[in-house]
A and B are shown apart, each in its own frame.
Chain A
Amino acid sequence: MSAKPSTLSVIRWLVERDLRTLVKSPFIIINRTIFFLIQLFVFAVLVSRLASSLDFNYFDFYSVGLVVSTITSIAFIIGEDLFEEEELGLLDYLLSLPFGHSLFVLGRALGGAVRGLIYVTPMMVLVAYVDGNLSPVGIAGSLVVIFILATGISGLSITLAMLIRNANRFDITIALAELATVRVSAAIYPLFYMPGVLQPVASYSPVTSASNVVRAIILPASYSSGVYDWVILLLFVGIFFGLGSAFLFRKIEGGKFE
């Protein structure tokens, strides 16, 4: 008879499952990569010329923010996957496997984060290169920050997938959530230039915090970050991992009638 697998093995296998499906969808990777390259070498170059009168280098600022916003977008995909799995009944299968529901949420959130990390690692290296700081330690540190953000965004996405029943509503909500987290943040423009009403919200955004920390690592001469950035990031992960788990339980138990 079968032996019970360890917790670490289960997390590894849940992450592996996400990676296997990622490898089978190369067009998504190609599409995201092309989008990233166009944004960096066309959009960012053009806007930084337009913004050349300002007292900072917009290309450098934007390049880091582009990686952070890309990981944010990618991490949201896990909720779409989960929503689809629930619709196809795959969730019943996954929850019947010999591991706890919390471990399942953790595995999926980490799977989403690792998948996102694989997408953006080459982008991060490219950005570090064009920004003139190709330091392995800096890149590794940035990837850690990005990974933490991606775990939280995955948790948020799982929470939304568990809360919303209708597929169209879910697609719209995810699109709006993605737009809000990226646009109401300091990922692609400085807080100072944002409308006054949005500045307080954006200053507490985990995407702002992640952008601040990564900029401080890659562009230390121009940017700095504080402890509060880490606090916001870790709080964000904790809250949405907890909410994702709680809503997953509620959804299953309130579930559908077969």
Chain B
Amino acid sequence: MIEFKDVTKSFKNVDAVKGVTCEIRDREVFGLLGPNGAGKTTLIMTMATVYNPTRGEVFVEGHSASAEPDKVKALIGISFQDPKYDRILSAREILEWHAKVTGVEKGVREKRIDEVLAKFGLTGEARKRTWTLSGGTKKKIENAKVFVQRPKIAVFDEPTAYLDVPSRLMVWDMIDELRDEGSTVVLATNMMDEADRMSDRVGIMSRGEMVRVGEPAALKGSLRGRDVIEMKLGVPIPELPGEVSKVEEVKEARFEGDVLKIVLSNGRGLLPHMINVVTAKGGTVQSVNLKEPSLEDVFLYYTGMKLS
């Protein structure tokens, strides 16, 4: 288990992480969700012992990250957001060195490297200097370091940035495999679909603070009652928002251009009624869209910011 206890990390006058308290359970995929600059990377770095917290404490498997950094680092493998390795070296050299330094046993090292390179389709490029490779390939090599290491705690910072769709799916499968083998996975991302699909639980970070932690379904459920019906009308009728607001379940109604946006509970059940109310007042409904809360809505609700 990883425990963050009131962790604050300040750089000069800037609090990059502010009073974060949360737990990451064993063998779960924990999605760390937040826009760039939210403090995700800094929080990861305090866990990885690269930065000491200015205040508070991080415990990894019961070891203090400040007092026992070597024990903590031996448990962790990080795939950084931007590839971090010697670009004069080849993928194979990078992976061999990383595997050695992180203590992967000699007997399994080569086999594992071959397997991971093959999975990423990099066998043919394994001996090229990595600076000559594309951005996506460089990112695959960064991810490959952790898949070769197979650490107890695997940290992926934006693992599918720069990757095409097949590669993204493969990385997700490989992360699932790691978790199934017993690793705890911390997945920092600003991609909602990735966090939603991959995470057992999600922590939402904004401006250095952990504003909410929970299972994606539970977080979306916490916004129950905030379904959105969007009706595109031929001609906007100014009195319609007031008219639909008379329905008890409606929390908010307004026009955005020629689209009537209604925030309400039980949107699915009330959809036919809302169409009736609009048409009874002379509205011509051209199209209807019902949106139930997504993780993006959850993020927007708790942070007041759009991730994108």
Chain A residue with minimal CB distance to B52? A253
Among A13, A100, A256, contact of B97 (Cβ-Cβ < 8 Å): A13
Chain A residues near B129: list those with CB within 8 A.
Answer: 24
Chain A residues lying within 8 Å of B70, measured Cβ to Cβ, are 4, 98-100
| Complex contact A17–B86 (CB within 8 A) | yes
Distance of A241 from chain B, by nearest CB (Å)? 20
CB contacts (< 8 Å) of A172 on chain B: these are none
**Which of chain B's residues have a CB closer than 8 A to the CB of A3?**
103, 105
B193 at the binding interface (Cβ < 8 Å): no
A residues 65-96 with Cβ under 8 Å of B? 88-90, 92-93, 95-96
Main SS of the interface on chain B? loop
A161 to B141, CA, bound (A): 28
| Per-position binary interface string of chain B over residues 54-86, scored 1 when its CB falls under 8 Å from any chain A CB and 0 otherwise | 000000000000000110011010101010111
Contact yes or no, A258 B41, CB < 8 A: yes
Any A CB within 8 A of the CB of B49 = yes
Query: Across the interface, do A20 and B102 meet the contact criterion of CB distance under 8 Å?
Result: no
Q: Is A228 in the interface zone, CB < 8 Å from B?
A: no
A16 at the interface (CB under 8 A from B): yes
A170, B11: Cα distance in complex, Å: 22
Q: How many residues of chain A have a CB within 8 Å of chain B?
A: 32
Asked if A196 is at the interface of the complex by the 8 Å CB criterion, the answer is no
- Determine the chain B residues whose CB is within 8 A of the CB of A9 once the complex forms: 100
Residues of A within 8 A of B45 (CB): 92, 96, 258
- A4 vs B52: C-alpha distance in the bound complex, in angstroms? 22
In the assembled complex, the CB of A258 is this many whole angstroms from the nearest CB of chain B, namely 5
Residues of A within 8 A of B (CB): 1-5, 9-10, 13, 16-17, 20-21, 24-25, 88-90, 92-93, 95-100, 252-258
- The answer, among A4, A21, A93, A95, for a CB contact under 8 Å with B74, is A4
* Cross-chain contact of A254 among B12, B105, B149 (Cβ < 8 A): B12
10 contacts between A and B (CB under 8 A): A2-B105, A2-B150, A5-B100, A20-B86, A89-B82, A93-B80, A98-B74, A100-B69, A254-B11, A256-B11
List 5 additional contacts besides A253-B52, A255-B51; criterion CB under 8 Å: A2-B150, A16-B97, A20-B86, A97-B73, A254-B12
Contact B42 A89 (CB under 8 A): no
User: Are B51 and A21 neighbours in the complex by a CB distance under 8 Å?
Assistant: no
Whether, in the assembled complex, B93 has its beta carbon less than 8 Å from a beta carbon of chain A, the answer is yes
Cβ–Cβ < 8 Å partners of A258 in chain B: 16, 37, 41-42, 45
Chain B residues with CB below 8 A from A89, complex form: 80, 82, 84
B89 within 8 A of A: yes
Is B101 part of the binding interface, using a Cβ–Cβ cutoff of 8 Å? yes
Q: A25-B88, A90-B84 are in contact. Are A96 and B49 (CB under 8 A)?
A: yes
Scan residues 1-52 of chain B and give those whose CB is less than 8 A from a CB of chain A: 11-12, 14, 16, 37, 41-42, 45, 48-52
The answer to whether B97 and A17 have CB atoms under 8 Å apart is yes
- Whether A21 contacts B88 in the complex (CB less than 8 A), given A100-B70, A253-B52, comes out as yes
Residues A2 and B73 in contact, CB atoms below 8 Å apart? no
Task: Name, among A3, A9, A93, A99, the residue most crowded by chain B CB atoms within 10 Å (CB to CB).
Answer: A93
| Binary flags per residue of B146-160, CB closer than 8 Å to A gives 1, else 0 | 000111100000000
Please, which residue of chain B has its CB at the minimum distance from the CB of A6?
A: B103
B104 within 8 A of A: yes
> B11 and A255: CB pair below 8 A?
yes
Query: Once the chains bind, are B84 and A93 in contact (CB under 8 Å)?
Result: yes
Query: Distance in Å from the Cβ of B108 to the closest Cβ of chain A?
Result: 10
Q: Shortest Cβ distance from B53 into chain A, in angstroms?
A: 10
A2 CA / B105 CA spacing, docked (Å): 7
**A108, chain B: closest CB distance, angstroms:** 13
- Do residues B103 and A98 form an inter-chain contact, with CB atoms below 8 A? yes
Q: Smallest CB–CB gap between B271 and chain A, Å? A: 45
Residue of A nearest to B79 (CB): A93
A2 to B149 CA separation, bound complex (whole angstroms): 8
Which A residues lie within 8 Å of B97 (CB)? 13, 16-17, 20
Note all chain B residues with C-beta closer than 8 A to A97: 73, 101-102
Q: Residue on B with the closest CB to A5?
A: B103
A196 to B102, CA, bound (A): 54
Instruction: Give A102 Cβ to nearest chain B Cβ, in Å.
Output: 11
CB nearest to B42 among chain A residues:
A258
CA–CA, A51 to B69, complex, Å?
59
Instruction: Give the residues in chain A near B48, CB-CB below 8 Å.
Output: 96
Partner of A98, one of B11, B37, B73, B89: B73
Interface centre among A3, A90, A257 (most CB of B within 10 A): A257
Which residues of chain B are within 8 angstroms of A24 by Cβ–Cβ distance? 88-89, 129
Q: Which residues of the other chain, A, contact B105 by a CB distance below 8 angstroms?
A: 2-3
Q: Which residues of B contact A17 (CB under 8 A)?
A: 86, 97
